[in-house]
Amino acid sequence: MSDDPTPAGLGGFDMNALLQQAQQMQEQMMSAQQELADTTVSGTVGDGLVSVSVNGIGELVGVRIRKDSFDPADTEDLEDLIVAAYRDAKSQVEELASEKLGPLSGAAGEMFGAPGPDGPDTAAGGLPPGF
**Structural domain total, the chain:** 1
pTM to 2 decimals? 0.61
Q: Please, what is the average pLDDT of the chain? A: 77
What domain range is 42 assigned to? 38-101
Mean pLDDT confidence for 27-39: 84
The domain that holds 65 is classified in CATH as: 3.30.1310.10
Is the residue at 67 inside a domain? Answer: yes
Is the residue at 32 inside a domain? Answer: no
- For CA atoms 87, 92, 96, 98, give the dihedral sign: positive
First to last CA, the chain: 22
Amino acid at 62: G
Is the residue at 96 inside a domain? Answer: yes
Is the residue at 129 inside a domain? Answer: no
Residue 7: per-residue pLDDT: 53
Is the residue at 107 inside a domain? Answer: no
Q: How many residues does the chain have?
A: 131
Is the residue at 91 inside a domain? Answer: yes
